[in-house]
């Protein structure tokens, strides 16, 4: 009896597509996708990838055409569909922000009262305005929102921001954050038990990949008499592993550490006598 594949919707093109396919690849899933294909099957895992317009994905998930989707949380909020977020993915981070022309006197959200605001996210913007008891005129436009103040269409804009460089180029200043977003996996309320089981298996792999990101395996040689001092400095999944070396009086200490934390404690480790320090990448981590 053949297994029904888990149907996963991804963005048809763009950075989110690249990061979505990379995540599946890191999970050991091989996708046979050719140029301009709208659907592709995995060779070694029961999933089928649907390449869809980003704005259409929430509706397809709600209707059960796709069982799950990799989508920006901001799009889910804007589309207001009945879907379940089952996993935060930590990539494609951005923020939906209010921006005004440079030189405009802006002290806070109250200064938007009565103003014209251009946006491609009217639902999210209206929620923000309502929460702050502000009445403003929302102009819904698609694409090139940042040009609206320059052509007299709006007094301010509400748009997605990553680095802020586009705002800067168009003479705008980011003022307030309406919401923060990242890529998530959203599941259909209509997913059946068989495909839910496949989803659970996929989530296990994804969580193992995500757990390993930004973490490194740390190994070092430490005088045995200094092991207690060194291990006090080291965070680990439970506690550092300590193994005796062939040379008397020396031990090997192993642990997993956030990459950024290593540079905070390297000098202290060396002061405690640690040497032969190695930092090794982690591909997967099963918690």
Give, for 120, the enclosing helix (H) or strand (E).
none
Buried b (16+ CB within 10 A) or exposed e, 32-58: ebeeeeeebebeebbbbbbbbebebbb
The count of residues in the chain is 287
Q: Does domain 94-180 have CATH number 3.40.640.10?
A: no
What's the rounded Cα separation, in Å, for the pair 54 and 70? 9
* CA atoms of 77 and 88, how far apart (whole Å): 14
HEC string of 238-268 equals CCCEEEECCCCCEEEEEEEEEHHHHHHHHHH
Please state the CATH superfamily assignment of the domain spanning residues 6-92+182-212 in this structure: Periplasmic binding protein-like II (3.40.190.10)
* pTM for the full predicted model: 0.85
Locate the domains of the chain by residue range: 6-92+182-212, 94-180, 215-281
Q: Give, for all 287 residues of the chain, the pLDDT tens digit.
A: 457 999 999 999 888 999 999 999 999 999 877 667 889 999 999 999 999 999 999 999 999 999 999 999 999 999 999 999 999 999 999 999 999 999 899 999 999 999 999 999 999 999 999 999 999 999 999 888 999 999 999 999 999 998 888 899 999 999 999 999 999 999 999 999 999 999 999 999 999 999 998 888 999 999 999 999 998 888 656 678 999 999 999 999 999 988 878 888 888 899 889 999 999 999 888 87
Fold of 215-281: Alpha-Beta Plaits (3.30.70)
SS3 245: coil
94-180 has the same fold as 6-92+182-212: yes
């Amino acid at each position: 009896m053949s297994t029904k594949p888990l149907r996963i919707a991804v963005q048809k093109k763009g950075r989110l597509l690249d990061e979505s396919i990379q995540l599946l690849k890191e999970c050991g899933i091989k996708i046979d996708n050719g140029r301009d294909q709208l659907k592709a099957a995995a060779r070694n895992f029961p999933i089928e990838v649907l390449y869809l317009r980003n704005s259409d994905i929430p509706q397809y998930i709600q209707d059960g055409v796709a069982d799950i989707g990799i989508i920006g949380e901001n799009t889910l909020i804007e589309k207001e569909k009945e879907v379940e977020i089952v996993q935060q993915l930590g990539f494609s981070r951005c923020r939906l922000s209010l921006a005004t022309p440079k030189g405009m006197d802006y002290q806070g959200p109250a200064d938007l009262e009565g103003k014209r605001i251009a946006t491609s996210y009217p639902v999210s913007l209206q929620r923000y305005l309502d929460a702050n008891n502000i009445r403003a005129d929302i102009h819904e436009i698609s694409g090139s929102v940042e040009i609206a103040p320059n052509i007299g269409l709006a007094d301010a804009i509400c748009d997605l921001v990553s680095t802020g460089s586009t705002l800067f180029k168009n003479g705008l200043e980011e003022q307030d954050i309406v919401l923060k977003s990242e890529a998530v996996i959203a599941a259909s309320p209509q997913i059946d038990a068989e495909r839910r089981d496949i989803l659970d298996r996929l989530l296990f792999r994804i969580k193992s990949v995500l757990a390993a990101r930004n973490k490194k395996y740390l190994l070092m040689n430490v005088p045995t008499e200094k092991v207690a001092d060194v291990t006090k400095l080291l965070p680990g999944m439970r506690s550092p592993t300590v193994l005796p070396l062939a040379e008397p009086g020396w031990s090997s200490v192993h642990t997993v550490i956030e990459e950024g934390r290593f540079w905070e404690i390297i000098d202290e480790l060396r002061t405690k006598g640690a040497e032969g320090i190695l930092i090794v990448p982690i591909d997967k981590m099963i918690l």
